[in-house]
Structure 1
Amino acid sequence: MSFFFDGEFLKYSIIIPTLNEEKLLPNLLEQLNKSSVKEKYDFEIIISDGGSSDKTVEIARTYSDIVKVYVDKEKQNIAKGRNEGFRFSKGEILIFLNADVLLEDAEKFFAYIEKHFVNSGYAAMTCKVKVFKDEEKLSDMIFHSLYNSYFYMLNLTGVGMGRGECQVIKRKYFELVEGNNINLDAGEDFDLFKRIRKHGNILFANNLCIYESPRRYRKLGYSGVTWSWIKNSISIIFRNRSLSKEWEQVR
């Protein structure tokens, strides 16, 4: 996979794909730009925008090192967004985050990666995902508890799984598998870790947590989201393609 950098590498590249994320993106960028974190850890922030019609790009340029806006006339998806962000990156460790997430503790997040991942034999890392604390309901607690345990077991048994909300990958492995499969409109996160797992182990950081917006669950319901995940995962395993022709945008 080609990229546009030929200088010295940094330690980390944080790559965030966006599309009309003016409401939630500022929260994540403000968290990452806190002086205590920014000064201590060597990272760049790359926003890979798919052609937002709101103020996402304007906001991104205030907080980020690189803002890349791309518009694919044929079809856009989050896999293309992540790959496009990678092409402009210079980090040895790639941290892919969704725009609607927050780190539980940014300092703890980077400290854990430094201690347990950077110099380890692991190829990639992921962690638990929960709903924003101030919006969490009992159904959210139950669902995420079950799914976090399920994803932990998938990695423990060698299947490989990391939700797109947070995927930490060593650059050489991302390049080795040639990044995300841009032909997948859903399940690209599962597919990427499944392919990486063939070349190295994946660390599930059970004591780290990412918080996500519950907007998709509120609109589609847990049954709808779960069914979409299951059918696309099965299709990727047996047919190497997703059943969904596009991932519905929920804002």
Structure 2
Amino acid sequence: MVNVQQVNKSLAQLKNKNGSNGKASTSIIIEKIFSFKRKTPLISVIIPVLQEEKLIESTLKLYSVELRNKYNIEVIVSDGGSSDRTLGIAEKYADIIIKHNGNHRQTIAEGRNKGAEASKGDVLVFINGDTFPQNPEHFFQFIHKWCNENTLYGKASALACPVYVAPGEILFKDKIFYKLHNFYIWLLISVGMGMGRGECQIIKREEFFSVGGYNPTIAAGEDFDLFRRISKIGKLGFAKEILVYESPRRFRKYGYLRILLSWTVNSLSVIFRGKSVSKEWEAVR
């Protein structure tokens, strides 16, 4: 059982941590005024973005008003300092928008934390701007079932799920890679190691804040680091019942071998040094 007082203390520490290291916490939060039906759970969909004008509109349109009302969802866009049309597009669809105005380059970990701080949800769904559920209706049905049935995934504190390339963009080599990599994630979770790609991480609120959220100083491997810490206080699950699609743009630009090497080096550095080798994660648009 997570202590509520400890969670509140961790939330305060998380806010301090995001503004630490001499970097002022300079984010502006824009929140639309509306009321939620307070049924359990309230789901916060947190989308970190940076220069995502090409994809963000199609992504946000998936979370229709009808879907939000039916499944008690709030959509939060946490922008890392976009200079394109990302914010203007997001303002048409998101319930809460967070603007980063600091001089430093915001990590995606910091962006996700800012979204979590502004959220009200019992469940936090962190999903990237180029990533979307295969079937949004089924996706949120499953999350409600997970929260309401304590036996599902052994009362897991957080879930990862399969990630694939959208059918219209998938190549044969993608099918091989994603099948193997999804199996790898499932295997690590099954043997008790914390693992889950940041493209989509579903986490219960109390557990997220009790471990202090994402480490904002880690530029790459922050997703693995968070699940590794959560695995020490609770269980993880790999939800094969749902899946999300991501853009293959990074793999198309750099190739699978180079990205796998980068993932491996950064993960090992996070384990043994507590920080990533990469100082910044390049935006591929």
TM-score, length of structure 2 as denominator length: 0.84
Name which of structure 1's ranges 151-160 and 25-34 shifts more when overlaid on structure 2. Answer: 25-34
Contact 2:68 2:74 in 1 (8 A): no
Match of 1:25 in 2: 56
Secondary structure of 1:207's aligned partner:
coil
Task: Output the CA distance in 1 between the equivalents of 2:149 and 2:42.
Answer: 12
The alignment status of 1:62 with 2:96, answered yes or no, reads no
Match of 2:134 in 1: 104
Gaps of 5+ in 1: none
Contact 2:45 2:124 in 1 (8 A): yes
The alignment status of 1:74 with 2:104, answered yes or no, reads yes
Match of 1:13 in 2: 44
Q: Deviations over 1:114-150 (max 9, x none)?
A: 1124543210011000011101001110000000000
Q: Which structure has the larger Rg over C-alpha atoms?
A: 2
Task: Output the CA distance in 1 between the equivalents of 2:124 and 2:280.
Answer: 25
Contact 1:48 1:82 in 2 (8 A): yes
Contact 1:124 1:168 in 2 (8 A): yes
Task: Output the CA distance in 1 between the equivalents of 2:110 and 2:255.
Answer: 27
Shift of residue 18, structure 1, vs aligned partner? 0.7
Of residues 116, 126, 145, the one that matches 1:115 is 145
Secondary structure of 1:32's aligned partner:
coil
CA RMSD of aligned residues (A): 1.8
Contact 1:79 1:182 in 2 (8 A): yes
Q: How many pairs are equivalent?
A: 249
Task: Output the CA distance in 2 between the equivalents of 1:108 and 1:38.
Answer: 13
Match of 1:244 in 2: 278
Shift of residue 71, structure 1, vs aligned partner? 2.5
Task: Output the CA distance in 1 between the equivalents of 2:199 and 2:104.
Answer: 25
Shift of residue 193, structure 1, vs aligned partner? 0.4
Match of 1:53 in 2: 83
Shift of residue 209, structure 1, vs aligned partner? 0.9
The alignment status of 1:233 with 2:263, answered yes or no, reads no
Secondary structure of 1:134's aligned partner:
coil
Q: Deviations over 1:205-240 (max 9, x none)?
A: 113110000000000100111001111111111111
Runs of at least 4 residues of structure 1 off by over 2 A?
1-5, 7-10, 116-120
Of residues 193, 196, 213, the one that matches 1:162 is 196
Contact 1:123 1:169 in 2 (8 A): yes
1:85 corresponds to which letter in structure 2? Answer: G
Contact 1:93 1:118 in 2 (8 A): no
Q: 1:170 to 1:12 in 2, by over 3 A?
A: same
2:60 corresponds to which letter in structure 1? Answer: L
The alignment status of 1:89 with 2:119, answered yes or no, reads yes
Shift of residue 38, structure 1, vs aligned partner? 2.1
Identity of aligned residues (%): 46
Shift of residue 55, structure 1, vs aligned partner? 0.7
Q: Deviations over 1:10-53 (max 9, x none)?
A: 61111101111011111111111162x22311011010001111
Match of 1:214 in 2: 248
2:140 corresponds to which letter in structure 1? Answer: F
1:89 corresponds to which letter in structure 2? Answer: S
Contact 1:98 1:164 in 2 (8 A): yes
TM-score, length of structure 1 as denominator length: 0.95
